[in-house]
Each structure stands twice: as C-alpha cells, then as structure tokens.
Structure 1
Amino acid sequence: MTSETWRVGVLFSTSGITAAVERTQRNATLLAIEQINANGGIDGRLIEPIAYNPGSDPKQYRDQAELLCDQHKVSVIFGCYMSSSRKAALPIIEARGALLFYPTLYEGFEYSPHCIYTGPAPNQNSVQLVNYVSQKFGNRIAMIGSNYVYPYESNRVIADLFTQTGGRVLHEQYVPLTATADVFARIIEQVAKLQPDAIYSTVVGDGIALFYQAYRAAGLDPATMPIISLSTSEAEVAQMAPGTAVGHITASPYFEGLRTPQSEAFVAAYRARFGADARITACAEAAYFQVYLYALGVARAQTDRFALLLPHLHDLEFDAPQGRVKIDGATNHTHVWSRVGQVNAQGLFDVVDEPGVRVAPDPYMLKYSLDAETPLAVRLNFQPMGS
C-alpha cells in the first residue's frame, strides 16, 4: 500500500431543493469508494474523495468544479444532478482537461468527451414509459414541469413520442423550482378539467412531493389518470405522507426492490452504512457503479489523466445492481436496463413492465420507433449481452 492516493471530486448537494435525491448519490459514491479502498484501492493506492456541497445552485457547481480542478488538482469528478448543474460545471471540467462522471437521467441530445453519462438517455426510459402508458391508460397527456432545461427538453421528447402513438398534448406548463403548494393546487384543478389519460411530470426537487400531495387532495385516481414521471424516485416518495404516491408510474433502470444478488448486496451495504430506513434511488445506483467503472479504467490505464484514461473506459462492463452495464465507446453513454415501475403502499416501486433487455444508448434518438410493426428489440435499440 502506497501513501499516494487517487484524488477525486464529489459534487452532490446535501442542502437545497434537490438534496433528497442528491444525498443518495453522494452516499452511494462514498460507499463504493470505501468498498474499493477496503479491498486495497486501485493497485495499492486508495481513492481520496474531496466532497463539496453545491447547495442545489448551478453557480456553486461551476465554482466548486473549478476549485476541485485548480486547487485540489483532481482529474475526475463524480457529480451533478439537475441538467442546469451539469451544464454549469462541464465547461470548467472540459477546459481543465478533467472528466465528469454524471449519474443522472437526463434529456439527451448531448455529447462531451469529458463526460461519462451513466444515467439513462431518453431512448432508455422515455420510450419505454410512453410505450407502457399509451397501451395501459391512453395517449392524451398534460405536461407539468419545473422551469429549467431538463423539463423543456424532456417534454419535447415525450410529446413527440405520444404524438407518434396518435396522441396529443392537452396542456403544458412550467413552474418555478420554488413553487408552493397553492401553485400546484391550482394547476391540478386546471388539468383535472381537461381529463387527460396521464399527467407527465418533470417537476424536480422538493416540488415533487407538493405536486403529488395536490393531486391526492383533489381526489384524483391514478388508476385512470396517473402521474407519470422520470424524475420521481424513492427519495421523493419518502418525503410524502404515506400512500400519497401509490399507483403512480415511472421508468428507470433500477429500483430499490430489485431482486438480483448484486442489488441485494448493494442495498444491504447501503443500509448498513447509512441507516436501515435509508431510501435508495436509481441515481444512487448509477453513482455507485460508476465509481467501479472508474476504478476498472484506472487499473487498466495506470493513470487517471483524461486523455490516457478515456480509451480504457470505452466498452468497460460491470455487474451493477441493475444488471451488467457497459460504457459505449461511441457516445460516452451507458448500456442500461429498462424497467417500468409503479409505486406500492410501502413507497417502493413494483416492476410492472420489464422487457428483459439491455438497451444501447441512443442519446440523439436516431434509431428508435414506436411503430407497433417494428420488432421490440429494434424499437428498444436492443443489443445482446456482450455485443
């Protein structure tokens, strides 16, 4: 064991509007680092995390990324949740010749050689969500989102997908990140009069609980008009009164209740470290496995310097809690598993649709189709294991 370390930045918020989910990402990152270090680190060198709290403020992500690169001399940063935070930090990371591992679902239509995207792109969650909802509930939707880049872009994709199924958007509205309960109550009242088949929510952070609570207070029924949302996870459901989110739907590569040996080991280790009641999210799972991918890449490259490390990350595979994942060398995105989940009475997600295929990333949505005549494997851009 050498005294020299692999120094990395950890940039997740423990305060602010998105702290609930970002804490899970920070925890999972630190858990993976601790596990790797307990097994001797990377070739006898421990990983040394330097963590900051950007407070859910994009400017702080930018400033703290600069601090990590310039003062602490890190070459790799694990971090960012909202797309606004990624877009704030990434130019700094690119200019410093560093690398960002980004473990969050996002709107797609982006590529940077200085970013490894380990959360799902739209062809890995939006397509599956629309496919399920349009068949089970219908394709007339209302869209409500927070006022920043991800909701606008995600709504554009979702609207296009529903339109392909013959559906239409009945209502589209954006609210401040700090929107209050009365704002959501008025929106729910307005949307209910339109009687959509589903409400697509891209509300993020603390507003998620307020939105679902307004829905429940209005007496609406998720059996006939569910909230469908890619940004609602176990962490946000835990912020709600019991039963508030029951019946609502999301699509994600991972859910806390997934029964695989890797998932059960991950959940057990996470709860042993952070508490028996700790909630675990897909964003946390991606934050966890991306540290292992980093470690495998550094062990191959024998360096963490961007230009030398990046080629060794391409096509790396790892048995993650969700299933075996792989970094795509052409796009810097990740091959992940697609699942649709519905909230149960325990505040967890039951898997209600699971094609059982690993989905190759298509961040620019070039190869997808919702045409029912197209075979499922082609619609999902499926590539067999090991391809």
Structure 2
Amino acid sequence: MNESSPTPLVPVPMGAAIVPPLPKATEGVRPLRLSLILPTYTESENIEAIVGKLTALLDPTLPNAYELIVVDDDSPDKTWEVALALSDRYPQLRVMRRQSERGLSTAVIRGWQVARGEVLGVIDADLQHPPEVLLKMIAEIEEGADLVVASRHIEGGGVSDWSFIRRFLSRGAQVLGLILLPGVVGRVSDPMSGYFMVRRSAIAHREMNPIGYKILIEVLGRGEIGDVAEVGYVFQERSVGESKVTWRQYVDYIGHLIRLRTSRWPIVRFFCFCAVGFSGVFVDMAVLYLLSDPSTLGWGLTRSKAIAAEIAIINNFLWNDAWTFADMSQKQKGWRKRFKRLLKFNSVCLLGLVLNILLLNLLFNQFGLNRYLANLIAIAAVTLWNFWLNLKLSWRVTEVEPE
C-alpha cells in the first residue's frame, strides 16, 4: 500500500456532482491506476465476499495501484460498519457513509469524487457482476479504450435466470434509448449496464446529473468518450439478499433519456422560434381581416387566406432570420442567399401545413379526439417539426465566403 494511506472512513463530498481531475502526486503517495466503486444498500451479507474476491484478483494485477471504495446509503443493516471493519484486513478498502443522499448513480459519482485513480469503475456489491471480468476490462483500458462496458448482449454475455417480462423490459429500454439518443445509446450494446470502467480524464470537470440507477448513459452523454470497448459477462442471480430491480428503475431510465435529449435540444432558440410563430398568427389574422372583411376589400375567403398565410410566413422568416437564427444567417450574407433561405423556409412551412391537416384528420376521424384538442396536438407536433427541419435545412450553412 502507499506509504501514507488515507483514513478508511471518507467524508461525503457536497455540492455539484463534478468529478475532479487526478490529484497531484505528493511525497509518499503514488497515483493509483484504478478506483473501483461499490455502491451499497443492505449488502452486509455480501460485502465481505465481494471485497475478498476483488482483492484476490486485483492484488497480483495492480499491486498497490488500486483502491476499493464502498459507498453506502446508511443501510439499516449497517453495511458501512461491516465494510469498515474489513479495512484492517484489506488496506485498499475505503468506506463512505451517506446519510443525506440516496441513489446508486449519485453514490457512484460521490465515490469518484474522492477517488485517487486514473481509471474509475463501478461494480455491484451483490456478486451479480462476476469479478473476474474486471481483468478483461483492465486489459481493454491498457489497450487504449476510454470506456469499457461489461455487456450482457454480446458474445460471451447473457442473463442467468430472467423472466420473459424482465427480458422484454430490458430490451425495450434499449430500443427506446436508441430512438431518443441514437448517438449516445447506440455506442454500446448494453446501455443499462452498471458494470464499467472509464478514464477519469474523459469525465473530469463535467457536471453529472443522473437519475435513478443507470449512470452509464450519463457518462456517455456528458463525457468526452473516444474509444469504447465491450466485454461479455453473464449476469448472475443473487445467492444472498433481495433484488432491488423495480418498475421505478425503468421509469427513472426513461426520465434520464428525456433529460439528456432535452439538454441537447436548443431550448432558447426553440422558444424564440415559437415567439416568432405567435407573432405570425396576428399577422395572418390582420391580413385576413383587411382582405376578406366586407367592410374592407371584401375579397373571397380562400384567396384572402392564401395571401394572409404567405405574408405571415414572410413575417416569420424575417424575424427568424434576424433573431432566432441570427448567428447562422450572419454566415450566409447577401440577398441571393437570403432568398434561398426564404424559399426553403416557405417549403418547410407549406409541408408543415399539409402535415397539420393530415394529423388533424387522423386524430379526429380515426381516434375520435375532440376537434380542438386534435388541432392543438397537431399544431404542437408540426411546430416541433418545422423548427427542427428549418434548423437543419433552411439555416444550415452550405456556402462560406473565402477569407
């Protein structure tokens, strides 16, 4: 062990969930290669067995270069006390007792915040994650991977005795993740895995904000992850204690996906787009009145509405070009390029109008929704469609003036 070993009982970090960079080496204290977090709650019957297995594996592989950190959520069975009593026998072991926070994901981050390793990892303390897989994961890190995930869904992986419902929910959660966050969840075969290692440098200084039990998608979504490797493992059933898997885990997982998805959505720009669209409603109504009302020009309703809609579209384009997408339009100066943006914006809006009508009819005629509720849903859906398509098409920088 290091010449100056830290106390076995470590304080709980407070404040933002930000993993610090690797602590600087000081006299008598060498940097560690691996810090492995064991988040626990009512695991007093398993903790001695898992610590014994891990040290037997890691002592010859990383001699004096690793630590195990048990982060316990103040278990009623005193798991933290049982772990602390083991520290005399296992000097690599450190223990954190959390009394004001709960949750596996935050427990992992709090453990990483006090860790001293170049590589940060997590493993369940209930022996459902086979410890021997760690050696394969360490080998992948040594080969240059930034993140190594133990997966149940590749060759060599599987589950020992899951019900059909649990298998269905696990796969369904993966598919949902691929739909909402394809660029994040699609990088691994088992996004709900709680058994992985990551280089500290890939997540240092980045604020984490996980929900519930699944922290891997937070690491993938917010970290600077380059190479990803996977190793197969067979998820074991518990021999001691009760499983903590509940329906709430899946609800939290969905909430986590949505939070990560919306964090990548340009919220401020979207609200500007909606405000401009709201102004277009008044322009449309005012022009329609001026053209069609018997007290004014008295034109036909269809012709008046078509003209009013086009003027409202031009109004919306000018405001969006000058405000919502101003940073992008500045890169495409000139009347010719502005006219091209107008044509694309017009086409997107007209397509949105067609989609609005189709969706309105589908919700009203096929699903029997109230006509006004159906129209509101159609408007909301088409607003999202118009914004995203205009962001990716109408104001996309396609020409840059040479310097």
Q: Higher helix share goes to which structure?
A: 2
TM-score by length of 1: 0.22
Which gives a bigger RCO, structure 1 or 2 (Cα 8 Å, sep 6+)? 1
Highest Rg: 1 or 2? 2
More strand by share: 1
